[in-house]
A and B are shown apart, each in its own frame.
Chain A
Amino acid sequence: MYGLNTEKPRIMFIDLNSAFATTEQQAHPHLRGRPMGVTNRISKHCCVIAASYEAKALGIKVGMRLDEAKSICPDFIILETDPPKYHHVYQKICAIMQDYSPNVKMKSIDEGVIDFHGMDDLLKDRSLQDIGYEIKQRVRDEIGCWMRINVGIAPNRFLAKQAASWHKPDGLDTIDHRNLIDYYKSIELTDLTGIAKHFEARLNATGIFTPMQFLEASADHLKRFVFHSVIGEDWHNRLRGHEVDGNPTNKGQVGRQFVLDLRTNSDADILPRFHYLCETTGKKLRYNNFDARGVLVWATFQTGDYWYKRKMFKSSFYTDRDIYSRALYLFNQRPKHLYVTSMGITCYQLTPSARSQYSLFDEVNRQEWLTTAVDEVNERYGTFMIHSLDTLEGKRRVKQKIPFGGTEYFELLLKRA
Chain B
Amino acid sequence: MDPITPLNERVEVVALFRKNLDVSQICLPHKMRYKNQEITFSELGMRHPTSKGKRMIHVFDMSDGVNDYRLEFDAEGLTWTLTAILDGKSL
Q: How far is the CB of A369 from chain B (nearest CB, A)?
A: 22
Taken together as a complex, chains A and B put the C-alpha atoms of A415 and B55 apart, in Å, by 11
Taken together as a complex, chains A and B put the C-alpha atoms of A75 and B52 apart, in Å, by 34
Check A30–B2 contact: CB distance below 8 A: no
Which chain A residues (66-96) contact chain B, with CB distance < 8 Å?
66, 75, 77-80, 84-85, 87-89
Chain A residues, CB < 8 A from B61: 27-28
* A28 with B68, Cβ < 8 A, contacts A42-B1, A78-B2, A79-B2 known: yes
Chain A residues, CB < 8 A from B3: 77, 79
Taken together as a complex, chains A and B put the C-alpha atoms of A30 and B86 apart, in Å, by 8
Is B16 an interface position by the 8 A CB rule?
A: no
* Total cross-chain contacts (CB, 8 A): 69
Check A380–B45 contact: CB distance below 8 A: no
Check A30–B88 contact: CB distance below 8 A: yes
Check A142–B24 contact: CB distance below 8 A: yes
Check B53–A385 contact: CB distance below 8 A: yes
Check B48–A26 contact: CB distance below 8 A: no
Check B86–A28 contact: CB distance below 8 A: yes
Check A382–B52 contact: CB distance below 8 A: yes
Taken together as a complex, chains A and B put the C-alpha atoms of A292 and B88 apart, in Å, by 51
Tell me whether chain A's interface is mostly helix, strand or loop, or mixed.
Answer: helix
Taken together as a complex, chains A and B put the C-alpha atoms of A381 and B51 apart, in Å, by 10
Chain A residues, CB < 8 A from B67: 30
Q: Which size bracket describes the interface of A in this complex?
A: 20 to 34
Is A34 an interface position by the 8 A CB rule?
A: yes
Check B50–A84 contact: CB distance below 8 A: yes
Q: How far is the CB of B55 from chain A (nearest CB, A)?
A: 9
Is A414 an interface position by the 8 A CB rule?
A: yes
Is B59 an interface position by the 8 A CB rule?
A: yes
Chain B residues, CB < 8 A from A142: 22, 24
Q: How far is the CB of B87 from chain A (nearest CB, A)?
A: 9
Check B2–A88 contact: CB distance below 8 A: no
Chain A residues, CB < 8 A from B1: 42, 66, 78
Taken together as a complex, chains A and B put the C-alpha atoms of A417 and B55 apart, in Å, by 13
Q: How far is the CB of A28 from chain B (nearest CB, A)?
A: 5
Check A144–B45 contact: CB distance below 8 A: yes
Residue A29 contacts which of B43, B50, B54 (CB distance < 8 angstroms)?
A: B43
Taken together as a complex, chains A and B put the C-alpha atoms of A131 and B49 apart, in Å, by 28
Check A26–B54 contact: CB distance below 8 A: no
Chain A residues, CB < 8 A from B4: 79
Which chain B residues (32-71) contact chain A, with CB distance < 8 Å?
43, 45-46, 48-54, 59, 61, 63, 67-68
Per the CB 8 Å criterion, the residue count for chain B at the interface is 24
* A85 with B53, Cβ < 8 A, contacts A29-B68, A42-B1 known: no
* A42 with B59, Cβ < 8 A, contacts A23-B46, A28-B45 known: no
Check B53–A382 contact: CB distance below 8 A: yes
* A84 with B45, Cβ < 8 A, contacts A142-B22, A415-B51 known: no
* A414 with B51, Cβ < 8 A, contacts A29-B45, A30-B86 known: yes
Taken together as a complex, chains A and B put the C-alpha atoms of A142 and B45 apart, in Å, by 12
Check B43–A88 contact: CB distance below 8 A: no
Q: How far is the CB of A375 from chain B (nearest CB, A)?
A: 13
Chain B residues, CB < 8 A from A382: 51-53
Which chain A residues (392-417) contact chain B, with CB distance < 8 Å?
414-415, 417
Check A77–B91 contact: CB distance below 8 A: yes
Chain A residues, CB < 8 A from B24: 142-143
Taken together as a complex, chains A and B put the C-alpha atoms of A218 and B67 apart, in Å, by 60
CB closest chain-B residue, reference A87? B48
Q: How far is the CB of A72 from chain B (nearest CB, A)?
A: 16
Chain B residues, CB < 8 A from A85: 46, 48, 59
Chain B residues, CB < 8 A from A385: 53
Taken together as a complex, chains A and B put the C-alpha atoms of A23 and B45 apart, in Å, by 9
Q: How far is the CB of A173 from chain B (nearest CB, A)?
A: 28
Q: How far is the CB of B84 from chain A (nearest CB, A)?
A: 10
CB closest chain-B residue, reference A382? B53
Q: Which of A77, A87, A417 has the most CB of B within 10 A?
A: A77
Which chain A residues (217-254) contact chain B, with CB distance < 8 Å?
none
Taken together as a complex, chains A and B put the C-alpha atoms of A27 and B53 apart, in Å, by 24
* A27 with B45, Cβ < 8 A, contacts A77-B91, A85-B59 known: yes
Check B46–A144 contact: CB distance below 8 A: yes
Chain A residues within 8 Å of B, Cβ to Cβ: 23, 26-31, 34, 42, 66, 75, 77-80, 84-85, 87-89, 141-144, 380-382, 385, 414-415, 417
Interface pairs (11), CB distance under 8 Å: A28-B61, A28-B63, A29-B43, A30-B88, A34-B91, A77-B3, A79-B3, A84-B49, A84-B59, A85-B48, A85-B59
